[in-house]
Amino acid sequence: MKKIVKYAHYLHRKGFTAGNAGNISVLYRNKIMDVVAITSSGSCLGTISEDEIVLLDLDGNVISGKKPSSELHLHMNLYKIRDDINAIVHTHPPYTVALTMKDIRIERPEGVPGNKKFLEEIPYYRPGSIELANACSKKLKKEKILVLKKHGLVTCGSSLEEAVNLTELVENAAKITYISSQ
C-alpha cells in the first residue's frame, strides 16, 4: 500500500493526473486468496493516504476500505484475463489526451515491446462505464498500453514500477509528437 501511495504522489507531481482523476491498482497473488488494492473513489492521487486504498477479492467484493475507484471494472477485467499483469495505472496525461483530441496517433516509444508502430487506442467511452471496461479488456489482451481517446491512458505491468514507467514513456513520446507537430 505504501508503494501505491508513493507512485500516486509521483504521478500527480509529474502532472499525469489532476484533482481526483486517475486510479491505481495492484494485484497481490498468493495461495490463500488473491487481493486487489485499488485507490478509492474520489481520491486525489496527489494527496492520497494508505487509508484511502480499498482491498477487494477478484470478484470485486470489498474486504476493507471505502468505495473503490469508479474504474473498478476496468481493473478487475484485466486481472482476470492477464496472468502476467499485477499492476494497472490509469492517468490523464495532458499531451497524450491532447493528441487524441487532434486525432494524432502516438508512436510506440523506443524500448516498449510490441509489433505495431502506433499504440493501441479505443474511441471515447464514458469514464467508469462497463463499455469502457469491456473495450479495454479486448484491446489489452496482448498489449500493456492503451490510449483512451479524449480521456487518458491505461498502462499495465508485472509490477507497479513497470506500469508507471510505461506511463512516463508514453507521455514523453506524446509530448515530443505534440511539440514537433506545432
Could you list the active site residues?
71
| 91 vs 82: CA distance, rounded Å | 20
Please say whether the beta carbons of 53 and 5 come within 8 A: yes
Q: For the chain, first and last CA: distance in Å?
A: 41
Dihedrals φ, ψ of 40, to 5°? -80, 160
Dihedrals φ, ψ of 170, to 5°? -65, -45
H/E element, 137: helix 130-139
